Every structure is written in structure tokens, then in C-alpha cells.
Amino acid sequence: MPSVRRVIVGASGSPSSLQVLRYAQHLARDLDAALVPVLAWLPPDGDLADRRTPCEELRRLWAQDARQRLQDALNLAWGNPPADLPVRPVILRGRPGPVLVDAACRPGDLLVAGAGRRGALARIAGGRVSRYCLVHARCPVLTIPPPPLARETHRGALARAFRHRTLTADQIPPNKHGSWAAEAHPRTP
């Protein structure tokens, strides 16, 4: 196997991707390779909506938002960029799987991706990016399992507490002073 010259890593900003970014950083340092964090982005309503009503100003704003999301993800993962490691962030428009595979196209590339969620439903709906990378990549692919907290938030009562729940003002009872501050132990419905 040729030596690894670049470690390409997906950087979406999710808790799992932050762990993957940290792992890729250590891996790139150990292999004396460049680290290339990649953020893939699409317009909020998808490419079809953008093609129907193209607007350069919106495209510029979306690209700017993608740059900020990548910077935020890197700051959350590392604090400051590693000084002893060449880091070359890349922002590309497209779906994450194809974007990562296209970015990892040179000899000596290693693609690092999150393994996605586990479980019966997750096998059907989740982990599409890592599966796409494993099937289509032209370089070695390393998948990293999600951190323990991410695994816990996808099952049982803890999952129901975090899943798509919108908090409205009428759900927050007033405290003893009459203000609408949230209590330390919210009531369950």
C-alpha cells in the first residue's frame, strides 16, 4: 500500500463528526500526512429548487453559511487548528457521499468517515454517507463508530426526549418569581 499523504475527513458539525475530526487529526499526525476536512452542502430546498429559481445572492449566502459551519465544526473539534499539521479545509456543493469520494481521489489518500447509527432502523435509513464511501471510494476508507453519548440518544427514553421536540412558551411553567425561566427539572407530559 502506498504511503498516506492526505487524510480526507467529513466535517458536518454533528457530535459524531467532531469525534471523527479528532481521530483524523491524530491519524494524520501519526502518518505525517495533510489533513483535509471536507464539508458538503446543498441549498436548503435542494438543487431542484435552486435550478428552478436561481439567485446568485442566495448562492453566495449559502456558500458563506457553509464556510461558517465548517469553521464552527473545526473550532468545536480542536479549539485551534493544529499548528504541527497542514490543514486544508474544503467546502464543496453536493451530497456528502459523492463529495467525499470525489475529494479522496489521489493516490495516497485515506478517507475517514463516521460509521453512522446502529440498529435495525438505522441500517435502513442511517449511515448512508459511510456506506456510499465504502462502496464507491477509490482509496482506503476508515469508518469510526459514533461516540457513546450519540448511541444513547438514539434509543429508549433518552431518544424520545431529544427527538424533534419543539418547546413552546405554554410548556414552560412560571417559576416562583413569576418569570418564564425554565426549571432545572422540567415536567414530563
Q: How far apart are CA 82 and CA 78, in angstroms?
A: 7
Burial of 99 (0-12, 13-18, 19+ CB in 10 A): buried
Lowest mean pLDDT among 72-86, 120-134, 146-160: 146-160
What would the mean pLDDT of 136-155 be, rounded to a whole number? Answer: 76
Lowest mean pLDDT among 79-83, 174-178, 184-188: 184-188
Lowest mean pLDDT among 8-12, 30-34, 132-136, 176-180: 176-180
Highest mean pLDDT among 77-86, 99-108, 177-186: 99-108
Of the candidates 25, 15, 18, 13, the residue with the CA atom closest to the CA atom of residue 110 = 25
Q: How far apart are CA 52 and CA 21, in angstroms?
A: 36
At 9, the pLDDT band (50, 70, 90 cuts) reads: very high
Average pLDDT over the chain reads 78
Query: What is the CA angle 162-166-172, rounded to 5?
Result: 100
What would the mean pLDDT of 35-52 be, rounded to a whole number? Answer: 84
Query: What is the CA angle 150-154-158, rounded to 5?
Result: 95
DSSP H helices, the chain, are 15-31, 46-52, 56-78, 96-103, 120-125, 128-136, 148-152, 156-162
1 pLDDT exceeds 60?
A: no
47 pLDDT exceeds 70?
A: yes
